Amino acid sequence: MTLRLFVLALCLPALAACDSGVVVDAAGAVATAQGETFTPRVVTREDIPPDIHEDSWARLPRIARESLDADGQRAYDVIVHPDSRYATGLRGPIGMWMYSPPMAEHLFPASTYLRFGADGNRDQRLAELAILTAARALDSQYEWSAHEPLGLSAGLEAEIIDLLRWDTPLAEAGELPGLNEPERTLIRVVRELIREPKLSRDAFEAAQRIFGNQGLMDIAGLIGHYTTVNYTLKAFDVQRPPGSRLTLPPRP
């Protein structure tokens, strides 16, 4: 896969059952071919800490546009407008960004590019693969539970999602549908970026060959973005709202 394919073609609340190894029983427990099991849990109001605001599900309330000055309203309108994925209003970690309007104004367009590409033409299957790999490496329940359905909708194979869910080493993955050299390289790069002092030479050269220099920079940028999102979630204790399913098990 060339840079052009990555850049021009590369950010269901129920779990998918998979004939080749993922089984969901009547109680919702998930079992894999390797024997690991866990039961996804639905968030209840009793799970929400007492310092959380219900309008934002975070430690600070959701900001109203009319409470901002002219510069703040300009930043708000960069995020919330009819063509935005936040057309219905601020929510989640991006809502907390508005407590620093200049930061939000600069970061939101970058986040949109990193996830969706310059013209909305990034390959969402690969983007969601990178995001889910990062969510597992960061142990981010919020991001994993939000993006697992998006990964499935983008065509990411349930077997690959299960590989990431259990943080299975690539050397133990075996042959899985859709897990080819680009996918293996992307998983390796993301895991190393988060866990190692630097990207190994082998991983760098493989990613450079497959995705090109700009593609590799976009991967690094996408993972940097989701690290920022993770710190936002942690700082403001952003919660998945009641009724959400939490689908990331504890680290093996």
For the chain, residues classed under CATH 1.20.1290.10 are: 3-46+123-246
Topology (CATH) of 3-46+123-246:
AhpD-like (1.20.1290)
Residue tagged 């399913």 (tokens): 245
| 237 neighbors 49 (Cβ within 8 angstroms) | yes
As a whole number of angstroms, the distance between CA 177 and CA 108 comes to 34
As a whole number of angstroms, the distance between CA 219 and CA 225 comes to 10
Token pair of 219 as six digits: 């991967």
Q: Is the pLDDT of residue 154 over 70?
A: yes
As a whole number of angstroms, the distance between CA 115 and CA 131 comes to 9
pLDDT digits (tens, 9 = 90+) for 102-151: 999 999 999 999 999 999 999 999 999 999 999 999 999 999 999 999 99
Report the chain's mean pLDDT, rounded to a whole number: 90
pLDDT digits (tens, 9 = 90+) for 196-226: 999 999 999 999 999 999 999 999 999 999 9
Buried b (16+ CB within 10 A) or exposed e, 78-111: bbbeeeeebeeebbbbbbbbbeebeebbebbeeb
**Structure confidence at residue 99 as a pLDDT band (50, 70, 90):** very high
CA dihedral 44, 45, 50, 54 (to 10 degrees): 120
**100: phi then psi, degrees, rounded to nearest 5:** -125, 80
| DSSP reduced 3-state for 85 | coil
Helices and strands, number each (H, E), in the chain: 9, 5
State the pLDDT at residue 166: 96
State the pLDDT at residue 3: 39
State the pLDDT at residue 37: 80
**Structure confidence at residue 20 as a pLDDT band (50, 70, 90):** very low
Q: Is the pLDDT of residue 252 over 50?
A: yes
DSSP 169-211: -GGG--S-TT--HHHHHHHHHHHHHHHSSS--HHHHHHHHHHH
Distance of CA 15 to the CA centre of its chain: 16
State the pLDDT at residue 251: 82
Q: Is the pLDDT of residue 73 over 80?
A: yes
pTM above 0.75, yes or no: yes
Higher pLDDT, 28 or 195: 195
State the pLDDT at residue 128: 98
**236: phi then psi, degrees, rounded to nearest 5:** -105, 10
Smallest CA-to-CA distance from 159 within 147, 174, 145, 171 is with: 174
**Structure confidence at residue 26 as a pLDDT band (50, 70, 90):** very low
**129: phi then psi, degrees, rounded to nearest 5:** -60, -45
pLDDT digits (tens, 9 = 90+) for 157-197: 999 999 999 999 999 999 999 999 999 999 999 999 999 99
What is the pLDDT averaged over residues 64-88?
A: 97
